[in-house]
Structure 1
Amino acid sequence: MADSPGSGAAFPSQSPRTKKYSLTEEKIFYMNCRAAYLTVFKSSLENIISKDQLYLVLQHAGRNPSQKTINKYWTSQTAKLNFDDFCVILRKEKPTSKADLLKSFRQLDVNDDGSILHTDLYKFLTKRGEKMTREEVNAIINLPDVNADGKFDYIKFCKLYMTTNEQCLKTILGKLEVDSKLKCQQFGSHIEGTLERDPSPVPKPSPRVIRKTNQEMFSNKGGSRSPLLSSTRNFKTSVSLTITMSANSNQNPKLTEPNLIEDWQCVQSKGCFFLEEDGKIISHQYRMHIPEKSMVYLTIKPLKLSQVEGKPSPWLSVDTALYILVENESQANLQPLCFTELQNREVFGWTGELGPGIYWLIPSTTGCRLKKERKPVPEEALLVYRDETGKLFLTKEFRSALSDIFEVIDLDGNGLLSLEEYNFFELRASGEKCDEDAWAVCRENFDTKKNELTRQGFMELNMMEASDQGGDPRDLWVILHSMGYNKALELTEACPFVINIHAEKCKPRIKAVCMEACNGQLEKTICKYVLTNGSAKSMDGYENIIIYTYKHDSWITSVIENKLDNKLIIHVNNELSKNCVNNKGLNTYVVEVAPKSTMVCQHVMPLNERQEWIYHFLSSIKWT
């Protein structure tokens, strides 16, 4: 979970008698990230632009990434990764522990004496898994301290490996501590504050007071500086705004069904928001056909699945919305028409008249409540087990999760999976489609109906996967993780949803056509909507740099428009916001805005909808 905005933004006392406070795990994590990044790059505003650079900076951070790991984060679509992306990767790729290393090597220790024959080491490292070259293996067995008499002493090697990592970390942290310029540098979206604060913070002054007194605050060298002031002291241009939002109880819903809607014709389709490893969100996108001019009532809401008693269903609180675009002459020419702005509890909808034609429906979520899970799972759920005869079975919990997955990927809700529906699942789980021949084999071996896979057939398919791996659940976990499940079989990193379309005079049609990241066309659509319907505020002294703010009862969206011919680096600060959470998960961060372009800066929602929330937005440009 993200820290509550404003929780660390109090102004410290200017007294020199400040007390040391212990670094939190979060601060230590970012300090280590920064130190590692600066061993490879001169500035944290530089980007990682190649696989080699990614591999190198991960090594400096104490990781030993395989090629498979590198390929997971650097795909054919990747052009660059920034410091924030690097931090996300480090959260996912934990350092290898000494216990894990020893466990791996002990599998090859046939004599259980703490060593492995060089011949066995060659065979294992060059023939299995991610194969190494003979030259790479030679580099290991030629290490003088851990090899003798044709044997590799893996206990000594593990100790040497861990010691080397620790020494590297101490060295780069020491460099960061000594070099005051590096220590004070701003690193991507994370700004390190002073390590000394008064434990009892004083009330925060208003933004107006900050602007009037910042010079005086900076000149007082005896005390600590506020993170907010530290982050803006070198900026010449800024804009600040504050919006107070009342509690949203949803007692007076704005979305109401049209009269006699039970007589209208209705179609339905399901879909899902999936959270990627880099924090981006992808979802299904749809084409809708309206045969003739008609009133249309369109809604989207989170899909209710089977719920375990006593366990929360986090996806049910995720905000969902739907943008409607009209297709003019070609798929490439899509014009934003409207979006589901009206709300009744978790349902968002739109009512209006549509002419005959093809429309695109692009689902959207702010990302404020659909985020990477940080809390560790106490115990991994079992997926398979064997009875007393040794026969393999799927556990009840795993079968329940598979049943819910079936419910999500059965887009038309007919209780069967067509090849088209199954391929959306396959693309998500493995990145590859199932062709007609493979589907024919599937129909021959698993339960089907009308040439479509039944729920029982889907269970049989996963049972076969488990059997083929001899009960090893690793491949099954890959599928579960791709569908948003954690190790406790909780759906925490996905939000299934359902779309309902009612038309008064005709039978509408809807078809899922792709599954793409929630940017690109969606980003353009959101920007256009906010520019049209939001309020505008220019940067101080610069009419060509404009912040647009759209205010909804449930969220606020900020868009930046850069009319200049050069790229902008904009620093955003939300530290004075209250009862807010943003899609970045950070109080302070940096964004780049290309020349002559617009981009979504952030979405913000209340942490607690039943309480007032205050959005305080401060953005600044540092001219270099």
Structure 2
Amino acid sequence: MASGQKSNASSCSEQAAASESSQVKRSHNYEEEIFYRNCRAAYLAIFKSSLENIKSKEQLCLVLQQAGRNPSWQTVNKYWTFQTTSLNFDDFCFILKKEPPVQKTELLKTFAKMDANNDGYILHGELRNVLTTKGEKMTLDEVNTITELTEVNNDGKFYYYKFCKSYMATNEQCLKNAVEKLEVDSKLKCQQFGNQIEISPDSKPKTERKTETTPALKGGPCKSSLQPSLAPSCKISVTSTISMGASSNKKSKLIEPNAVKEWHCTYSKGCFYLEDNNDIVSHKYKLFLPQRSTVCITIKPVCFSQMEGKCSPWLAVDSALYILKENETEEKLNVVNFTELRNKETFGWRGELGAGVYWIIPFTTGCRFKKMKKQIAKEAKLIYEDGNGCLALTKEFRAALSEIFEMIDLDGNGFLSLEEYNFFEMRTCGETCDEEAWVICKQNFETKNNELTKQGFMDLNLMEASDRGGDLSDLWITLMSMGYNKAMELTEACPFSIHIYAEKCKPKIKPICLETSGGQLNKAICMNVVNKGDAKSMDNSENIITYTYRSDARITSVIENKTEGKTIIHINNEKSKNCVNNRGLNAFAVEVAPRSMMVCQHVMPLNEEEEWIYNCVYSILS
């Protein structure tokens, strides 16, 4: 009897725990739904479509205000840097998560600190002094805007209780108006979130292919895990299901580099960098081939010498190279192929290339290369005072600088040329070092054969701290620009190496730029998936087609819209198993522009040691 009571008590306890867990999950999902509804409402109050980009600081400020924020220009400048040309809807959601609405209690506490006598007001002179010199400094014009508000100012006094009440009411009303507009406008309710590059189908090769047509599903609403209350009805659906074995158990089709060791070889390093808006920046290259030859091209992650034996997260990041032929008579590049074959962490391609110039564009799907949410328990120490009272680099900082040196030493010769150093400069400060400045650099720091040594690079960084009296802000900017967090861990950069072997001639590879992939790469991905993937038509007239391409390492899908009007497609991956996609969502929707195609998603196994099942339902939304 006692045993039975214990069993029942244990069962009840488990059921209560499961119920509580389920409630927490539902609560979290509800919060996410409300957050994305508010994001969408604010964005569509300013722009006609979620595909429109924010193109200026003023637009960013306006759409943030519509979301119930009231950012200072310093906050705006934090997200709109001198390198920013546009921000998309995904960037906007990221900013709103980083900049939560100000709470009334927090606002009152801030002003109360200036009110030493607890009078309920602050003198204008004191307000100007505090707001323009402390914390997130405001401009004089911004402060004057506050002090000129008649309803909260009188006789040179700023009544902050009234201001806080008015401020909160205005912010809430802005967001409320945006949500109400979204709710009453059926067209806006269909607008979903997500960003993609539009590719014109006119540029693709004319390839005949059989397409499968799936009949329309007659049923209820198509529910999204993110927006169940706003989910529009489905017009027609198709499903793609692919079962994949454990990737680690598959035999490699890639010829090992040592099998072509007698061939001519060239080599270069590079890196993927993750931006604040989740864009991925990487080096791009030109390949010069003097004559027709069979070649073998590979890319793989680099393990730093000082990190040997340690597990590094970037070694699990997928990578590929797209090979594009430069055409002398045409401005556009022609897609040749990409590194599809795999041997462990190495991806490669082998084939014949004619003489000429080729662009080599590195690519990663973003499935495993994303912002990491990690609490930093303790900030790493960069410098210390030695026994003579002089500043010196800590052991941890020297190790990080040594890794950075290896990262930017693209030809791997142990020294930095001016060209290599300028890639580093552009990444960390957006400027380049000219020949005159390089001469001065060589006079002050150790060099060899006109190139900077590792010790010279160390001394240069130490000088930056010494010249600023121990101010570490510039050093932290350098570290974080190169992908390090405050604990000195490399979390937002993935170094890689490229090897090119040619049987009949000496190839040459040259790094050209460091930038985001852009439309050329997206076009190449679309062309590859359309030419090699399985096609399914979503309507009887074959105007909306999904293409799905599988390799040993990943699955990529593309959607083509041949019609003269935009189409909204809902994507549901909720029945997939052991999968991770580059969008980070199991259910989302995308808007495909007229007469265009777009990369819908990349999917990879979460655990490569186990089987993974890709199950994707595409639905046209009415």
What is the TM-score when the length of structure 1 is the normalising length?
0.80
The one-letter amino acid of 1:363's match is P
Whole-angstrom CA distance in 2 between matches of 1:225 and 1:510: 47
Give deviations 1:208-249, integer Å, cap 9, x for gaps.
x9986734x89xxxxx99879878752323322111111111
Task: Give 1:421 deviation, angstroms.
Answer: 0.9
Shift in alpha-carbon separation, 1:133–1:481, aligned structure 2, 3 A: closer
Whole-angstrom CA distance in 2 between matches of 1:404 and 1:330: 42
Q: Give the equivalent residue in structure 2 for 1:436.
A: 435
Map of 1:176-195 to 2, 5 A cutoff?
185=189, 188-189=192-193
Map of 1:102-121 to 2, 5 A cutoff?
119=125
1:545 to 2:548 alignment: no
Larger helix proportion, structure 1 or 2? 2
Shift in alpha-carbon separation, 1:33–1:384, aligned structure 2, 3 A: farther
Task: Give 1:309 deviation, angstroms.
Answer: 8.8
Task: Give 1:91 deviation, angstroms.
Answer: 3.2
1:476 to 2:475 alignment: yes
Q: Give the equivalent residue in structure 2 for 1:12.
A: none
SS of structure 2 residue aligned to 1:89: helix
Task: Give 1:95 deviation, angstroms.
Answer: 5.8
Q: How many residues align?
A: 579
Give deviations 1:416-440, integer Å, cap 9, x for gaps.
1111111111111112222222222
SS of structure 1 residue aligned to 2:600: strand
SS of structure 1 residue aligned to 2:281: strand
The one-letter amino acid of 1:413's match is G
1:89 to 2:85 alignment: no
1:56 to 2:98 alignment: no
Give deviations 1:128-181, integer Å, cap 9, x for gaps.
99875544323445679998997889xx68x97599559955995799699976
Whole-angstrom CA distance in 2 between matches of 1:470 and 1:20: 53
Whole-angstrom CA distance in 2 between matches of 1:589 and 1:305: 38
**2:281, 2:515 within 8 Å by CA — same for their partners in 1?**
yes
Report the more deviating stretch, 229-238 or 354-363: 229-238
Report the more deviating stretch, 560-569 or 502-511: 560-569
**1:83, 1:188 within 8 Å by CA — same for their partners in 2?**
no
Task: Give 1:87 deviation, angstroms.
Answer: 1.0
Shift in alpha-carbon separation, 1:115–1:266, aligned structure 2, 3 A: farther
Task: Give 1:370 deviation, angstroms.
Answer: 0.6
Percent of aligned pairs with the same amino acid: 55
Whole-angstrom CA distance in 2 between matches of 1:101 and 1:390: 43
Shift in alpha-carbon separation, 1:439–1:385, aligned structure 2, 3 A: same
**2:224, 2:231 within 8 Å by CA — same for their partners in 1?**
no
Whole-angstrom CA distance in 1 between matches of 2:230 and 2:412: 51
Q: Give the equivalent residue in structure 1 for 2:6.
A: none
| TM-align CA RMSD | 4.3
SS of structure 1 residue aligned to 2:543: strand
Map of 1:462-473 to 2, 5 A cutoff?
462-473=461-472
**1:232, 1:620 within 8 Å by CA — same for their partners in 2?**
no
1:214 to 2:219 alignment: yes
SS of structure 2 residue aligned to 1:238: strand
Whole-angstrom CA distance in 1 between matches of 2:610 and 2:585: 21
SS of structure 1 residue aligned to 2:487: coil
Structure 1, unaligned runs of 5 or more? 1-18, 191-208, 219-223
Report the more deviating stretch, 271-280 or 40-49: 40-49
Whole-angstrom CA distance in 2 between matches of 1:152 and 1:145: 10
**2:224, 2:572 within 8 Å by CA — same for their partners in 1?**
no
Report the more deviating stretch, 226-235 or 516-525: 226-235
The one-letter amino acid of 2:219's match is N
Whole-angstrom CA distance in 1 between matches of 2:257 and 2:23: 62
Whole-angstrom CA distance in 1 between matches of 2:104 and 2:457: 40
SS of structure 1 residue aligned to 2:272: strand
Q: Give the equivalent residue in structure 1 for 2:261.
A: 262
Q: Give the equivalent residue in structure 2 for 1:277.
A: 276
SS of structure 1 residue aligned to 2:598: strand
Shift in alpha-carbon separation, 1:104–1:509, aligned structure 2, 3 A: farther
Report the more deviating stretch, 337-346 or 367-376: 367-376
Whole-angstrom CA distance in 2 between matches of 1:350 and 1:31: 46
**2:445, 2:459 within 8 Å by CA — same for their partners in 1?**
yes
The one-letter amino acid of 2:272's match is F
Q: Give the equivalent residue in structure 1 for 2:401.
A: 402
Shift in alpha-carbon separation, 1:445–1:152, aligned structure 2, 3 A: farther
Whole-angstrom CA distance in 2 between matches of 1:117 and 1:488: 43
Q: Give the equivalent residue in structure 2 for 1:315.
A: 314
SS of structure 1 residue aligned to 2:560: strand
1:32 to 2:38 alignment: no
Task: Give 1:475 deviation, angstroms.
Answer: 2.2
The one-letter amino acid of 1:340's match is T
Shift in alpha-carbon separation, 1:588–1:77, aligned structure 2, 3 A: farther
Whole-angstrom CA distance in 1 between matches of 2:103 and 2:621: 41
The one-letter amino acid of 1:533's match is K
Task: Give 1:368 deviation, angstroms.
Answer: 0.6
Whole-angstrom CA distance in 1 between matches of 2:525 and 2:42: 38
Map of 1:156-195 to 2, 5 A cutoff?
165=168, 168=171, 172=175, 185=189, 188-189=192-193
Report the more deviating stretch, 50-59 or 334-343: 50-59
Report the more deviating stretch, 329-338 or 179-188: 179-188
Report the more deviating stretch, 289-298 or 116-125: 116-125
Whole-angstrom CA distance in 2 between matches of 1:553 and 1:93: 40
SS of structure 1 residue aligned to 2:234: coil
SS of structure 2 residue aligned to 1:421: helix
The one-letter amino acid of 1:497's match is F
Task: Give 1:502 deviation, angstroms.
Answer: 1.8
The one-letter amino acid of 1:600's match is V
Task: Give 1:479 deviation, angstroms.
Answer: 1.9
Whole-angstrom CA distance in 2 between matches of 1:44 and 1:508: 49
Q: Give the equivalent residue in structure 2 for 1:336.
A: 335
Whole-angstrom CA distance in 1 between matches of 2:487 and 2:322: 34
Shift in alpha-carbon separation, 1:285–1:38, aligned structure 2, 3 A: same
Q: Give the equivalent residue in structure 1 for 2:591.
A: 592
Whole-angstrom CA distance in 1 between matches of 2:110 and 2:441: 36
SS of structure 2 residue aligned to 1:269: strand
Q: Give the equivalent residue in structure 2 for 1:392.
A: 391
Whole-angstrom CA distance in 1 between matches of 2:95 and 2:217: 40
Shift in alpha-carbon separation, 1:513–1:81, aligned structure 2, 3 A: closer
Q: Give the equivalent residue in structure 2 for 1:616.
A: 615
SS of structure 2 residue aligned to 1:335: strand
Structure 2, unaligned runs of 5 or more? 1-21, 195-213
The one-letter amino acid of 1:559's match is V
